[in-house]
Amino acid sequence: MQRRGELPTSLALILPRHRLLPRVQPEAALQRSPTTTVLAILRRELASYFDSPLAYIVVPAFLLLVGGFSLGFNDILAAGLASMRTVFFWCAVFYLLLIPAVTMRLFAEERRTGSIEMLVTMPITETEMVLGKYLAALSLMTLALALTVTYPLTLASLGNLDWGPVVGGYLGLFLLGASFCAIGTAASALTHNQIVAFLVSLIVCLVPFATGFALAKVPPALLPLVQDISFQTHFNNLARGVIDTRSLVFYLSVCALFLHIAVFSLQRRRLS
């Protein structure tokens, strides 16, 4: 959360962390490449995660929940089968809590404090703002996912682990998380309230995910359509070790759609 007197993280390319820049800096900022601007926003947003309790609460909570449910409710070590399917399932489930909690503050906090009004007047495009903040949330999600690598290493030391589904499962989780981050970014850009952004993101992520568990109740005429828009169906395809280009296109399309919604929301605010 932004503290009193603290500038929004996206303004880091105008004002550095501890001192003011010379007056010439705004003109110099205009000469920055889009990549430089995005990386500057990314670094500052990541720094804000670790300067606050957010990263130190969300990531350990995610790991504890995944570990507790994988080893407690479904003891993967006592199952007698070296498989990561249970771990992947619980990672996907708890993404539904982790990612909206991270993305809810991306723009909603700046809207609440009014700093978004200053932000839209800066020499930063809406696309750069959205990409910088999105990539920061995606980086934190990737860090949490990377810390689960101890599970396949442990299972491989205890049995004959098939690494094809492991690689496919991690790819599926990364793409699922990238889609959830894009949805959360759009939800945060559309609302002033962090709680509302969290709930909107949670619902929009949950509905396509949960439909994958209710396919037996879907009318046959609608089954192909529901399967095509189900996060769980595409994730299961990848978790089996089958790198299906349709699943890759689906996840990338979701990311592009919701990031475009976030950019459009900011552009509309600049023009209003």
Arithmetic mean of pLDDT over the chain: 81
Q: Where are the domains of the chain?
A: 34-271
**Entry pTM:** 0.82
Summarised one tens digit per residue, pLDDT across range 99-137 is 999 999 888 777 666 666 666 667 788 899 899 999 999
What CA–CA distance (Å, rounded) separates 193 from 256? 24
Q: Measured between alpha carbons, how far is residue 265 from residues 87, 175, 220, 229, 271 in Å?
A: 36, 24, 37, 24, 10
CA angle 72, 102, 71 (to 5 degrees): 10
- Residue 25: the pLDDT is 46
Residue 155's pLDDT band, with cuts at 50, 70 and 90, is: confident
- Residue 138 and residue 201 in contact, taking contact as beta carbons nearer than 8 Å: no
- Residue 12: the pLDDT is 45
What CA–CA distance (Å, rounded) separates 125 from 104? 21
Summarised one tens digit per residue, pLDDT across range 31-61 is 568 888 899 889 988 998 898 888 899 999 9
Residue 36, both tokens: 């430089």
105 φ/ψ angles, rounded to the nearest 5 degrees:
-95, -5
Residue 148's pLDDT band, with cuts at 50, 70 and 90, is: very high
Mean pLDDT of 72-77: 67
